[in-house]
Amino acid sequence: MARTSPAKVRVKGISQVCLVVKDIQKTMESYWNILGIGPWDVYAWEVPLVYERTYHGKPAWAREKIALAQVGAVQLELCQPIDGDSVYQDFLMEHGEGFHHVNFLVDDVDETVKILVKEGFSSLQSARFGDNGAYNYMDMRPLHTIWEVVHGESINAEPACYP
Protein backbone atom coordinates (compact mmCIF):
# COMPACT_ATOMS: atom_id res chain seq x y z
CA MET A 1 0.00 0.00 0.00
CA ALA A 2 1.42 3.38 -1.00
CA ARG A 3 1.81 5.96 1.73
CA THR A 4 1.31 9.66 1.14
CA SER A 5 2.91 12.20 3.44
CA PRO A 6 0.81 15.17 4.57
CA ALA A 7 3.90 17.41 4.24
CA LYS A 8 3.36 20.76 2.54
CA VAL A 9 7.07 20.94 1.62
CA ARG A 10 8.76 17.88 0.16
CA VAL A 11 12.54 17.59 0.34
CA LYS A 12 13.80 15.81 -2.76
CA GLY A 13 17.42 15.69 -1.65
CA ILE A 14 19.88 16.99 0.89
CA SER A 15 22.44 19.12 -0.88
CA GLN A 16 24.62 20.23 2.04
CA VAL A 17 25.45 19.72 5.69
CA CYS A 18 27.30 22.32 7.75
CA LEU A 19 29.61 22.31 10.73
CA VAL A 20 30.26 25.49 12.71
CA VAL A 21 33.91 25.74 13.72
CA LYS A 22 36.22 28.11 15.59
CA ASP A 23 39.24 27.66 13.28
CA ILE A 24 38.29 26.98 9.67
CA GLN A 25 41.89 26.61 8.45
CA LYS A 26 42.76 23.97 11.04
CA THR A 27 39.49 22.13 10.38
CA MET A 28 40.01 22.10 6.59
CA GLU A 29 43.54 20.77 7.09
CA SER A 30 42.24 18.03 9.37
CA TYR A 31 39.54 16.93 6.92
CA TRP A 32 42.09 16.92 4.08
CA ASN A 33 44.80 15.05 6.02
CA ILE A 34 42.61 12.56 7.92
CA LEU A 35 39.75 11.78 5.52
CA GLY A 36 40.97 13.15 2.18
CA ILE A 37 38.01 15.54 1.96
CA GLY A 38 38.74 18.51 -0.26
CA PRO A 39 39.84 20.52 -2.06
CA TRP A 40 38.03 23.36 -0.34
CA ASP A 41 36.63 26.54 -1.86
CA VAL A 42 36.89 29.30 0.75
CA TYR A 43 34.79 32.48 0.74
CA ALA A 44 34.52 35.66 2.80
CA TRP A 45 30.76 35.42 3.50
CA GLU A 46 30.00 39.11 3.87
CA VAL A 47 28.88 42.25 2.03
CA PRO A 48 28.86 42.70 -0.95
CA LEU A 49 28.65 38.95 -1.70
CA VAL A 50 25.97 38.44 1.00
CA TYR A 51 23.32 41.15 1.25
CA GLU A 52 19.80 41.84 2.56
CA ARG A 53 20.69 39.80 5.63
CA THR A 54 18.17 39.37 8.43
CA TYR A 55 18.68 37.91 11.88
CA HIS A 56 15.51 36.96 13.76
CA GLY A 57 13.49 39.02 11.27
CA LYS A 58 15.47 42.25 11.60
CA PRO A 59 18.12 43.70 9.26
CA ALA A 60 21.56 42.57 10.37
CA TRP A 61 25.22 42.70 9.50
CA ALA A 62 27.72 39.93 10.08
CA ARG A 63 30.80 38.31 8.57
CA GLU A 64 31.76 34.67 8.32
CA LYS A 65 34.33 32.60 6.52
CA ILE A 66 32.93 29.51 4.81
CA ALA A 67 34.64 26.57 3.14
CA LEU A 68 32.90 24.14 0.77
CA ALA A 69 33.97 20.67 -0.37
CA GLN A 70 32.00 18.11 -2.34
CA VAL A 71 31.70 14.66 -0.73
CA GLY A 72 29.83 12.50 -3.23
CA ALA A 73 26.41 14.03 -3.86
CA VAL A 74 26.50 16.15 -0.68
CA GLN A 75 28.46 19.32 -0.08
CA LEU A 76 30.21 19.72 3.28
CA GLU A 77 30.33 23.29 4.56
CA LEU A 78 32.50 24.63 7.34
CA CYS A 79 31.50 28.00 8.79
CA GLN A 80 33.55 30.19 11.10
CA PRO A 81 31.76 33.26 12.48
CA ILE A 82 34.00 36.33 12.39
CA ASP A 83 31.91 39.30 13.51
CA GLY A 84 28.30 40.36 14.08
CA ASP A 85 25.14 38.60 15.20
CA SER A 86 24.41 35.31 13.46
CA VAL A 87 22.96 31.86 13.99
CA TYR A 88 26.51 30.52 13.72
CA GLN A 89 27.77 32.63 16.62
CA ASP A 90 24.66 31.68 18.62
CA PHE A 91 25.40 28.00 17.98
CA LEU A 92 29.05 28.29 19.07
CA MET A 93 28.06 30.03 22.30
CA GLU A 94 25.29 27.52 23.09
CA HIS A 95 26.78 24.23 21.85
CA GLY A 96 30.40 24.75 20.84
CA GLU A 97 31.65 23.43 17.53
CA GLY A 98 29.63 20.89 15.61
CA PHE A 99 26.80 20.01 13.26
CA HIS A 100 24.70 23.09 12.52
CA HIS A 101 22.28 22.63 9.62
CA VAL A 102 21.09 20.66 6.64
CA ASN A 103 20.18 22.38 3.40
CA PHE A 104 17.94 21.57 0.49
CA LEU A 105 17.40 23.38 -2.79
CA VAL A 106 14.08 24.88 -3.82
CA ASP A 107 12.85 26.90 -6.78
CA ASP A 108 11.52 29.73 -4.61
CA VAL A 109 12.91 30.38 -1.12
CA ASP A 110 10.31 33.01 -0.22
CA GLU A 111 7.36 30.77 -1.15
CA THR A 112 8.81 27.76 0.72
CA VAL A 113 9.43 29.90 3.81
CA LYS A 114 5.82 31.16 3.71
CA ILE A 115 4.60 27.55 3.75
CA LEU A 116 6.92 26.60 6.63
CA VAL A 117 5.91 29.68 8.66
CA LYS A 118 2.23 28.71 8.18
CA GLU A 119 3.19 25.28 9.53
CA GLY A 120 4.49 26.93 12.71
CA PHE A 121 8.23 27.25 12.05
CA SER A 122 10.20 30.50 12.28
CA SER A 123 13.00 32.08 10.32
CA LEU A 124 16.25 32.49 12.22
CA GLN A 125 18.39 34.16 9.57
CA SER A 126 18.17 34.90 5.87
CA ALA A 127 20.07 36.67 3.11
CA ARG A 128 20.64 36.92 -0.59
CA PHE A 129 23.96 36.08 -2.25
CA GLY A 130 25.59 36.34 -5.63
CA ASP A 131 23.39 37.25 -8.59
CA ASN A 132 20.19 35.37 -7.70
CA GLY A 133 20.86 33.24 -4.64
CA ALA A 134 18.87 33.25 -1.42
CA TYR A 135 18.82 31.26 1.79
CA ASN A 136 16.73 31.10 4.93
CA TYR A 137 17.51 29.15 8.10
CA MET A 138 14.33 27.72 9.58
CA ASP A 139 13.99 26.76 13.24
CA MET A 140 12.46 23.29 12.98
CA ARG A 141 13.00 21.93 16.48
CA PRO A 142 10.90 18.75 16.04
CA LEU A 143 13.45 17.74 13.37
CA HIS A 144 16.38 18.27 15.80
CA THR A 145 18.29 20.63 13.52
CA ILE A 146 18.07 23.83 11.54
CA TRP A 147 16.96 23.38 7.92
CA GLU A 148 18.33 25.82 5.36
CA VAL A 149 16.08 26.54 2.40
CA VAL A 150 18.28 27.60 -0.57
CA HIS A 151 17.90 28.79 -4.14
CA GLY A 152 20.91 29.34 -6.38
CA GLU A 153 23.69 26.83 -6.60
CA SER A 154 26.33 29.30 -7.80
CA ILE A 155 27.96 31.77 -5.44
CA ASN A 156 29.34 33.88 -8.32
CA ALA A 157 32.57 34.80 -6.57
CA GLU A 158 36.13 33.60 -6.95
CA PRO A 159 37.09 31.44 -3.97
CA ALA A 160 40.42 31.00 -2.31
CA CYS A 161 41.32 27.30 -2.38
CA TYR A 162 42.83 24.84 0.08
CA PRO A 163 45.05 23.02 -0.56
Q: What's the number of CA atoms in the CB half-sphere (13 Å) around residue 43? A: 20
pLDDT in tens, 19-63: 999 999 999 999 999 999 999 999 999 999 999 999 999 999 999
Residue 8 lies in a domain: no
pLDDT in tens, 123-151: 999 999 988 899 999 999 999 999 999 99
Domain span at residue 75 reads 16-162
Residue 44 lies in a domain: yes
Residue 6 lies in a domain: no
CA-CA-CA-CA dihedral for 114, 118, 121, 126, to nearest 10 = 10
pLDDT in tens, 76-115: 999 999 999 999 999 999 999 999 999 999 999 999 999 9
Residue 104 lies in a domain: yes
CATH classification of the domain holding 34: 3.10.180.10
Q: How many domains does the chain have?
A: 1
Residue 23 lies in a domain: yes
Residue 7 lies in a domain: no
Residue 1 lies in a domain: no
Indicate if the pLDDT at residue 153 is higher than 70.
Answer: no
Pair 101, 18: CB distance under 8 Å: yes
Helix H or strand E segment including 26: helix 24-30
Residue 2 lies in a domain: no
> Where does the pLDDT of residue 2 fall: very low under 50, low under 70, confident under 90, or very high at 90 and above?
confident
For 78, residues 6+ apart whose C-beta sits below 8 A from its C-beta are 18, 19, 21, 24, 27, 28, 31, 40, 66, 67
